[in-house]
Amino acid sequence: MHASRFLGMCVRTCGLAALVLGLGACGRGITSTPGEAPNLERWVADVRARPAPPLEPLPVMQQFETFEYAAQDMRDPFSDAWRNPEGGAGLRPDPNRPKQPLEQFPLDSLDMVGTIGQGPGLLALVMAPDKVTHRVRPGTYMGQNDGRVVGVYEDRVELVELVPDGAGGWLERPASIALEDQ
């Protein structure tokens, strides 16, 4: 038993000696003697001593053609004089007309679901997004662009909307709602 104890002590001592030697070897690269620069400091000094690379030349500025504005005698596009030559006459929505229930919904959100009657007394059944079905006949208004119904047919409702023309006036635009295929 004495020999195994001695052997265990030798192994521990050798392991401790190897650890001390290994740590000592790692520290050699970090410490330096006075007056001698470590590798990193030497590399930084070498990079700083190199000459700077030449700068690229500045781009050449292009000469642009000058343009002289010569439209002083033409109509001013920002004046209101040219927008409505009739002096207020023409198409426009009636602000005094009471709004009808289907005018609060966009036209593309309304669905034609059927018809009632026949011939000139034909009425269309139009369902609004709130799932309420309304009876529609010629002269009824629907949609958010002052759309007036001009015709009710078995498969569609035709109407005319008033839309701004972008120049202060109004244009009539045809539109329709088709019967939904179930």
What would the pLDDT profile of 89-147 be if each residue is shown by its tens digit?
Answer: 578 888 899 999 999 999 999 999 999 988 888 999 999 999 999 999 999 999 999 99
**Within its chain, how far is the Cα of 34 from the centroid?**
65
Which amino acid, 66? T
Indicate which CATH number applies to the domain containing 127.
2.30.30.830
180: its two tokens: 């939904």
pLDDT in tens, 30-85: 545 555 567 898 889 899 999 988 889 988 888 888 888 788 788 777 766 555 55
Here the tokens at position 42 are 């030497």
pLDDT score, position 87: 47
Q: Is 135 helix (H, G, I), strand (E, B) or coil?
A: strand
Instruction: Count how many domains the chain has.
Output: 1
Q: Which residues on neighbouring strands pair with residue 141, listed in sequence order? A: 148
Exposed (0-12), middle (13-18) or buried (19+): which is 159, by Cβ within 10 Å? buried
List the domain range (segments joined by +) for residue 148: 107-178
